[in-house]
Structure 1
Amino acid sequence: MKHFRELLAKIKKADEMFNLIQNDDKIVIGISGGKDSIALFEALRTYKRYSKKKFTLYPVILDLGFVGFDASTYLSFFKERDYELIISDAQDVSKILHMQKEKQNLPKLPCSICARMKKAAINEVAKKIGANKVAFAHHIDDALETLFMNMISGGRIATFSPQMYLERAQITFIRPLILASEKLITRVQKDLNLPLLPANCPNEKKTRREDMKIMLNSIYKTYPEAKNNFELMLLNDREFSLWYHEYATLLADDHVIVKVTTPSQFNDVAYIRYHVFIDEQKIKYEDEYDPHEGDYTSLVLYVKGEKAATIRYKYDPQVRTAYLGRIAVLKEYRGQKLGMSLITYVEQLLTVKYRPLTFHIGGQSHLQKYYENLGYTRTGEPYYDADILHYHFTKKVN
C-alpha cells in the first residue's frame, strides 16, 4: 500500500495546487482499459472517502469500434465496488478514422482526430448524465511527452493543463494524476492487481508519443538528473526565459495573446482603446483612462502581427472576484470572435489558480445578449459610466 498512499498524496497535492475537485462535483472518469485510468478510478474512489469533499464519480468507457473491444470483464470489477461502468457506443470514431486514413493517404490512423473525437464523445456522455467535469488519467510523463511533441512537431512550447474549462461544452477537464509518474502508477496497478483490458488500438506502440517516450528514456539514462529537472520545469514559471517569453498563448498560427509589459505594448493598448472608446464612442479622454490603470493586467491580441483587440483584468482575493474590463476590438477585426477569445482566455487562466471564483464585467447595456451568450448573468442595478448605460454581468465558477 506504500505506492498507493504515495499516489493519493500526489492527487491531494494536485487538487490543492490546481483546484481540481470541489464539493458537489459530478465527475466522469474516462476509462480506457489501461493501467492509468483504472489506477485513477481506484485512487479517486479512495480519495473520495478520505477527503472532506463530497463528489460523485461516473466511470465511462468508450466503444470506439476497434476490433477486439470487450469490456465485459470490467463490469464485475466496478460492480464489486458499487459502481456501474457506463459503456458508451462511439463506434463511428473507428469508421471516420479509417475514412480519413484513406482520404489523406496516411500510413496509420490519425491520432489527433481520434483524440478530439474521443473528447467530444465523452463530453456527450457527461452532459447526458449531468456531470460538470471529466477526469482524464494523464500523468506527468504524458505532459513531458506532449511538451516535446509540440516543440519538435509544432514549433511551440506547450503541454496540456491540469484543468481546462470548455466554454461551449460547459465541461471542465481535470487531470488528477498530473503530478504522478508513470512508474508510480505502474507499481500501484501491480500492487493492487488492478485488471487491464487487452490493447485494441491499431496504432498501439506506433505513435509519435511512443517515439517521445523512447527518446526521453534515453535522455534519462544518459542524464539521470534530467527527469527531476524536466518535472520541475513544468512548475518553475519564475525561471522561464525565451525571446518571446511574454507571449501568453498562441491561439492559432496568426493569432497571439500578449501580456502587456513593454512601452510599445502599452502604446498598442492605448491605440486600440482610443479608436474604439474615444474616437468611435466619443468618450472623454479623462473618463477612458482612470487612476486605477496600474492595478490591472492588460492583454493585447495580435492578428498576423497587427494589434487587433485588448482586455484588462484584476483579481481581488478578498471577495474571490476577477474584474474584466476595457474589452475593445478594432473595427476592421470585428466578427472574428476576438473579444470572446480574450474573455475565455482570462477565465481559463484564472480558474486554474482560483476556485470558487466570480467573474465580473461592467458592460455597456447594448452588449447584454453578447455577455449572456458567454454565460454571464445581469445582476445589480444599472449605472452610467462616461454617460453610457452599463449593467453588471457576473459568472460564477465553482
Structure 2
Amino acid sequence: MKLQQLLSFTRKAVDTYQMIQPGDKIAIGISGGKDSLTLLYALHGLKRFYPNPFEIEAITVDLGFDGFETAPIADLCAELNVTYTVVKTDIGKIIFEERKEKNPCSLCAKMRKGSLNEVAKAHGCNKIAYGHHRDDLVETMLMSLMFEGRFYCYSPVTYLDRMDLTVIRPLLFVYEADVIGFKNKYNLPVSKNPCPADGNTKREYMKDLLKQLNTEHPGVMDKMFHAIINGNISSWPKVDKVLADKLNNI
C-alpha cells in the first residue's frame, strides 16, 4: 500500500466519525509494532493538508523488557519532525516476576494505557490515537462474542471522562495486509515485541481462527466488519444513513 492510499483510508475514518477538531493535540501511542508506526505516518501525512489544523507527538511506554529498541523509532520521529517521548516503566517486571500473572494481557494493557494517558495529559494532549486496524476490530468483536457472550467492539471514538481525554482509531478502515505492505514498502523500523506472552494469546488464537474461516468462506471477515459498523453498538457514535450506506462499500 502506498502512502496516498493510507491517507485516503485514514481521512475516511477521521471524517466519518469526526475524530479530529481544530486545535487538537494528539498523542500517538507507539508500541514499536507495524500498526502504530503506520499510524504515525498516516497522521503525519494527514496533518499537512487536513482542513482542521492539529498537532501530533509520539509516546512509547517502555514495559522494561530486555531487547526493546527505541533508537530506530526516535530516528524516524526526528526525520518526520515529530516530538518523541519514551516512558520507562517496570510493568513487565510487575506482571511476570512479582505478580506472576497467568493471563497477563488485560492487566498489562490497563497499566500501559494508564501510563500513556498520564504522559499525554501532562504534555497537553487532549486526544490519543491507537493503531487498531480493520482486522483488529473483527478480532475484538469475535473475542467478545465467544468469551464474554455479547456483541461488542471498542468505538472509533471513546471519551475517557476520568482523564478528560478522547481515544481515536484512525486506521479503522485499513486491512492488516495493507499495513504489512506499507511496512515493507517504507521499511518501517519495527521493534520486535520481547513480551513472553507474545504469540500465545487469545487474540492470536482469534487471528488464526479468522484466517481459517476466511479461507473456507471468502469474504466472511468483510461481512463481520460491516455487521460491526452497522450494528448500532451503544457506545459507537452515530452516522447518518447516507453515510452508512457508503460505508457498506468500503
CA contact (8 A) 2:26 2:129 kept: yes
Listed one character per residue, the Cα deviations across residues 162-185 of structure 1 (whole Å, up to 9, x for unaligned) are: 010011110000000011110111
Give SS of 2:60's match.
strand
Unpaired runs of at least 5, structure 1: 241-247, 250-347, 355-398
TM-score (norm 2): 0.90
Instruction: Give the alignment of 1:1-398 within 5 angstroms.
Output: 3-91=2-90, 93-98=91-96, 101-102=99-100, 106=102, 110-237=104-231, 352-353=237-238
Match of 1:273 in 2: none
Listed one character per residue, the Cα deviations across residues 174-231 of structure 1 (whole Å, up to 9, x for unaligned) are: 0000111101111111111121112211111111000000000000000002122112
Give SS of 2:183's match.
helix
Q: Distance in 1 between matches of 2:15 and 2:79?
A: 30
CA contact (8 A) 1:17 1:353 kept: no
CA contact (8 A) 2:137 2:225 kept: no
Q: Distance in 2 between matches of 1:216 and 1:66?
A: 30
Shift of 1:353: 3.9
Q: Distance in 2 between matches of 1:94 and 1:225?
A: 38
Per the alignment, do residues 19 and 227 of structure 1 end up closer, same or farther by CA in structure 2, a change over 3 Å counting?
same
| One-letter amino acid of the counterpart of residue 93, structure 2 | K
Q: Distance in 2 between matches of 1:139 and 1:218?
A: 19
| One-letter amino acid of the counterpart of residue 135, structure 1 | A
Listed one character per residue, the Cα deviations across residues 17-63 of structure 1 (whole Å, up to 9, x for unaligned) are: 11111110000000011110001001110011021121110101111
Give SS of 2:142's match.
helix
Larger strand proportion of the pair:
1
Q: Distance in 1 between matches of 2:99 and 2:87?
A: 24
TM-score (norm 1): 0.57
CA contact (8 A) 1:29 1:60 kept: yes
Higher relative contact order (CA 8 A, sep 6+): 2
Q: CA RMSD in A?
A: 1.8
What percentage of aligned pairs have identical amino acids?
35
